[in-house]
Amino acid sequence: MTNSISVSLVDYIGLVENGVAVILSLIILDKQYEIIYWFDQQNNFTITIEDSFYQDYPKVKNIYNYEYLIDLLYHIDTEVLPPREDIFNEFL
């Protein structure tokens, strides 16, 4: 069985505390989870995912400890979002 996972941009929240926040949709095996992703020009970031993700994947206690977080962030930054410079030029 192949895992069906996709991420898409839902909306830009815009400027938040000298960075930019976006709403993303993470779909795993046909179930959708909302993600809020914030990042700034110094490569700081925060990421939150809705609580139902933790209920469906109880081994994951904290998104920052999710074993595939680096892969997920890389995919978001390179495949889902436009280049950060473009985003910063629009919102900052």
Q: What is the pLDDT of residues 55-85, one digit of tens each?
A: 999 999 999 998 889 999 999 999 999 999 9
Q: Is 63 helix (H, G, I), strand (E, B) or coil?
A: helix
- Cα gap 3→87, rounded to integer Å: 30
Question: Which pair of tokens denotes residue 92?
Answer: 């900052």
Q: Is 81 helix (H, G, I), strand (E, B) or coil?
A: coil
Instruction: Give the pLDDT confidence score for residue 1 in this predicted structure.
Output: 37
HEC per residue, 58-75: CCCCCHHHCCCHHHHHHH
The model carries a pTM of 0.91
Lowest mean pLDDT among 4-8, 36-40, 75-79: 4-8
Question: Which pair of tokens denotes residue 44?
Answer: 């700081």
Letter for the amino acid at 24? L
